[in-house]
Each structure stands twice: as C-alpha cells, then as structure tokens.
Amino acid sequence: MNDAQPKPRSRIQQENRRRILDAALDMFSQHGYRGTTLDQIAEAAGLSKPNILYYFGGKEEIHVTLLNNLMRTWLAPLERLAPEGEPLEELLGYIRRKLQMSRDFPRESRLFANEILQGAPRMGPHLESGLRPLFDAKCRLIADWVAAGRIAPVDPGHLIVSIWATTQHYADFEAQLAVLMPERDALWRGAEAHLEAMFAKLLTP
Amino acid sequence: MNDAQPKPRSRIQQENRRRILDAALDMFSQHGYRGTTLDQIAEAAGLSKPNILYYFGGKEEIHVTLLNNLMRTWLAPLERLAPEGEPLEELLGYIRRKLQMSRDFPRESRLFANEILQGAPRMGPHLESGLRPLFDAKCRLIADWVAAGRIAPVDPGHLIVSIWATTQHYADFEAQLAVLMPERDALWRGAEAHLEAMFAKLLTP
DNA sequence: TCGTGAGTTTACCAAATGGTAAAAAAGCGG
DNA sequence: CCGCTTTTTTACCATTTGGTAAACTCACGA
C-alpha cells in the first residue's frame, strides 16, 4: 500500500541517507521527536538543512523511517523463540539476546521508549499489525510449555512483559544507573547474571 | 541556598499554582519537556500564558518544580522498606506499593521516565543527593538479609532495579500494553499476581 | 568537452514559541 | 466606598523552527 517501490538509490544517496538516519537516531533517542530540530540533525550529519530535505520529505518522514527500521530489529529476538528447543534454554536465550540489544543498541531502545511514552502517536498501527500477532503467538507457545509441565506455571503475557521491562530498563534508564552503579562493565555482567538467575528460578518447574 | 523561603501564598496563589502544575504534569509527562509549550499548559490550566508567567519564572521553573515534588513521592515507597519486618514481606510490600504508584500516578512515572531518558538534564544532582544515599542504604539492608540467610542470595542493587523496571513499566509503556493486553482491570490484577509470585520465588531461600 | 541531471547551497518565509511591558480589572483591609 | 495591592489581560517582540525557491556546482556518460 505504500513505499514498497524498487529503490534504485545511487551510491551517494545511500551514504547520505544513512548518515542522516544515524544522526537523527542520535537526536531523536536523546531528545524525543519534538525536542529534536532539523538543524541539530543537519549538523550532526554534516549536511545543510535543505540538503536533508532533499533526501527526506520532512522531519516526520525521517522519524517514521527510523521507527520502521526499528520494528524489524526489535522483533527479531522474540521471533527466534522457537518451539523446538528446551523451553528454559529458549527463554533464557531470549533474555540474553534482549539484554544484549539494550547494551549494543541503546539508542534504538530509547527511540522506542520515547515513542511509547508519548502514546505511540506514529507507531500505533505498527504495534497492532507487527508486534501483536507475534506477541500472541509466543504467548501461546509459552502457554503450551506450561501446560506440558515443561516450565513452571506462569502468565505468558506478563512473563514477556517482565523480560522486556527488565532488559530494556538497562538501556532506557542508563542515566539513572550511571549514578547508582557507576562501574559500567560490572553493571552489564551483574545484570546478565541477575536476570538469568531470576528467570531461571521463576521458570524451573 | 535557594527557595526555602517561608511562602505565605494567598488562597488564589495556591489554587492557581496547583492548577498550573497539574496541567503541566499532564503535558510534560505526555510530550516531554521540549515537546510541551507554554500555550498548551496555559490552555489546559484555563489561564492565559502571561498569567502563567506571573506565577512561575518560566517554563523551566515549572518543570523543575514538578521534578522536585516528584522526588519526594517517588522515594517514599523505598524509604518504608524497614529492617524490622519479615524480609520477604517487606520486599513484597515494597513491590506492591511501587506497582500501586504506577497505577495511581502514571503521569508522575512518565515524567520521571522522560527526564531520565533524556539524560536527566534537570535532575542529575537530585539523583546523586536524594536517590543515591537511599539506594545505597537499602542495598546494605538487603545484603544484610542475604548474609543472615533470611532471603535467597541475590544482588541487592539489581534486585531493586528489577523491581523498578517491572513496576514502572506498567505505567511508562501503557500505550504498548493497551495494544497487547486490552483488558485494563485484568492487566493490573495479573501484574500484581505475576510480580508477587516472581519475586517471592526469587527471594525465598 | 560538453550537456544534463543529481546533488548542494544561499536566501528566504510564515508560523510557533518563550517571554515582556504596561494597562486594566479584581480583591480587599480600612 | 476608597485606595492600594494582587491578579489578569492586551498587545507586542525576538528567536527558533520546519520548510521552500531557485540559483549554483558537480559528476559523468556521450
């Protein structure tokens, strides 16, 4: 229904679009949508403002593009939660992947958090069409595991929400954690150990 | 060093300041600092913009006032975590109080989340001077409980962080949860049951 | 090497925004 | 009811911001 056009982008187009999106991700994730100006993005990208508007239709189009890109990488870890493996290992693996994403892609995590915090004004449909089916499917998978007695009884939905909450928190609230637990390396190691232990204990039948 | 002045505010001053702060809390928690305009606050408060600037020195002063007020109510639940009681009951009580705050004061939770997400530009000092000592003290308390074998071994810092993450998530990511778990009443009941069960299992020796 | 289209810059603009000055209106103690 | 203070409104302003028009430069294939 929309831009599934080919996209025969020249070398320079690709490079400049990438720079703009990278700069915009920096800004939007730190200052939110309205807190970010085109001039900031332009300066961070090393381009002039009109030049940026040559590559994107406007501020909102940049933001939406980022959100669309985000959705894919964001769903990936959950998609890999598969019925074939050992349930406990599958879930702990998911937790590990999710925590890794918080550490390696904190900007993406904050962009998402900002968008949701503000009521998901530009993402509502995506949640409904992209996230929800996946969430429901994985809830069913977990419910099956519970029914089969392969993991301890647990509300699948709230389990997934707990995993999101705990893992994303380390990216989204980094500014707070930097004050409370200043040793960065120890923080991530401690986080992984704690979350694995916590969810293992919760899920072991 | 600053406004610890008496504050002999007239009836009308108190009322109007309250209305402004309430309206500003609505706006700031939903749109962030830069995403909120004085005109929005004015309209929501039912006052004219210059009138608002009669009560507050400027936009930033309103925001800082809200943040200061927030700090007090925000620390209260953790302060009540006391060494006298049964450790497990104390911690579960804390979790219950924290979740209740997410349900009853989602605006405050989101205001806080917004501020931290953006790097705590107007709250950094408060975290250091207000939150950190409390956090450290409660970590020591929990460590003592662990050392005494009264709760299962757990990293106190990460335990507290997990409690924050899971409880606040229900307020901060409400827009997302509204899509995934539309039945509002069931959501809060399920959240309480799930979190109590999860942390009880984690902490029971 | 020259023409042409892709890419970039300069010079703007209208609207929005935080904030101010000063006059007007309300309150209110006497 | 008066006079003085508090509160509110009207009329502005300078800056910022998203965006545009059009001129200009550059790459590159014929």
A161 — contact with chain B (CB < 8 Å)? yes
Q: Per residue in A117-133, pLDDT tens?
A: 999 999 988 899 999 99
> Is the domain of A40 the same as that of A75?
no
Q: Per residue in A82-96, pLDDT tens?
A: 999 999 999 999 999
- Find the mean pLDDT for residues B148-157: 97
Write down which residue in A21, A38, A57 finishes a domain.
A57
Residue A91 lies inside a defined structural domain of this protein: yes
In CATH, what number is assigned to the domain containing residue A137? 1.10.357.10
> Is the domain of B14 the same as that of B104?
no
Query: Number of CB pairs < 8 Å for A and B?
Result: 163
Q: Per residue in A140-178, pLDDT tens?
A: 999 999 999 999 999 999 999 999 999 999 999 999 999
Nucleotides on chain D that have an atom closer than 7 A to a protein CB are 6-11, 16-22
**pLDDT category, B77, cuts 50, 70, 90?**
very high
Residue B194 lies inside a defined structural domain of this protein: yes
How far apart CA B88 and CA B124 sit, in angstroms, is 32
pLDDT of residue A63: 97
pLDDT of residue A14: 83
DSSP conformation letters of A101-123? HHHH-HHHHHHHHHHHHTT-TTT
> Is the domain of A81 the same as that of A162?
yes
Residue B125 lies inside a defined structural domain of this protein: yes
> Is the domain of B68 the same as that of B93?
yes
Partners of residue B158 in chain A, C-beta under 8 Å: 190-191, 194-195
Please identify which residue in the block is written with the tokens 């004050």: A179
Q: What is the percent of chain B where pLDDT is above 90? A: 91
> Is the domain of A186 the same as that of A86?
yes
> Is the domain of A52 the same as that of A104?
no
Range of the domain at A20: 9-57
> Is the domain of B83 the same as that of B44?
no
A34 min Cα distance to partner chain B (Å): 5
Q: Is the overall model pTM greater than 0.85, yes or no?
A: yes
> Is the domain of A194 the same as that of A107?
yes
In chain B, residues 44-73 whose CB comes closer than 8 Å to chain A: none
Residue A1 lies inside a defined structural domain of this protein: no
Q: What total of structural domains would you count in chain A? A: 2
Residue A2 lies inside a defined structural domain of this protein: no
How far apart CA B135 and CA A180 sit, in angstroms, is 7
* For residue B151, pLDDT beyond 80: yes
> Is the domain of B80 the same as that of B17?
no
**pLDDT category, B88, cuts 50, 70, 90?**
very high
Asked if A134 and B180 count as a contact pair (C-beta separation under 8 A), the reply is no
> Is the domain of A29 the same as that of A68?
no
Q: Is the dihedral of CA B54, B58, B63, B68 positive or negative?
A: negative
> Is the domain of A168 the same as that of A183?
yes
> Is the domain of B19 the same as that of B40?
yes
Residue B173 lies inside a defined structural domain of this protein: yes
- A127 DSSP 8-state letter: I
- Under DSSP, is residue A188 helix (H, G, I), strand (E, B) or coil? helix
Give the orientation angle of helix A184-203 with respect to helix B156-172, to 10 degrees.
80
In CATH, what number is assigned to the domain containing residue B47? 1.10.10.60
Query: Which three-class secondary structure string do you get for chain B?
Result: CCCCCCCCCCHHHHHHHHHHHHHHHHHHHHHCCCCCCHHHHHHHHCCCHHHHHHHCCCHHHHHHHHHHHHHHHHHHHHHCCCCCCCHHHHHHHHHHHHHHHHHHCHHHHHHHHHHHHCCCCCCHHHHHHHHHHHHHHHHHHHHHHHHCCCCCCCCHHHHHHHHHHHHHHHHHCHHHHHHHCCCHHHHHHHHHHHHHHHHHHHHCC
